[in-house]
Structure 1
Amino acid sequence: MYELLFWNYQEGIYLNHHLVYEAIADGELVEGLEELPIEVILNRITKVFAIWEKVDNSSWKNPSGNGAFHIRTTTQSIKIDCYGTEGKTMDKLVDIMEEFKCPLYDPQVPERFDEFNE
């Protein structure tokens, strides 16, 4: 499994990314994060992955059998668990979230890929 996490800080707020990740993983709300348009984002993912089999409201499976992903949300975050998913598929998910100004936090690295990185 490979985790992708997305959130957006409120203007002027910049927190420790790993602590934010841990709070999100525990399902906690984090002071300083924006609320996200979760339904709009999920609809966008559904549209982009229209040829994928939608297993349930939060899981998609590649019809070629090459990967799957599951999405967990809070009002402030999107966590996508990828199972055998190709890099180009994960890149599509990252691109979708960038449309909503939510950069990727990759806990495997760990690094957040946003304009504040140097």
Structure 2
Amino acid sequence: MASFRHGQKQSEHHDNGNHPEGENNRLLPLGLALVELSLGKPVRTLLNPGDDEGEDILVTKVRTVSRLVRMVYMESGTNYAEALNNCLSWSGPCLEKNFEEKVFKNMVSPLLKDLVNFEGLA
């Protein structure tokens, strides 16, 4: 399965459905929560029949969320989907020097853009 490089723009990968499996992705729970918030349902209720046959639950959730990225893009817009993709594709260690700055830039900042637009401050 192809993976995304950290910092890749949302428009480059919002609809191809390929994300790392998530075993070492510490930001995956945030990505799962963003999908659930956008679509208004828990990930477990968004599974297709057969999605969870014989696979680890984490792998199942990652594949399901990867499949739903396009729906999130249509429901919540470009900035939100960019934050989601950045969470799903995160590959950097959480202990690296600029971790907080990178999370702010790649996850929080796109969400703040939507908040500003939503509140009509832009």
Provide the TM-score with structure 1 as the length reference. Answer: 0.32
Q: Which has the higher strand share?
A: 1
Point out the structure with the larger helix share. 2
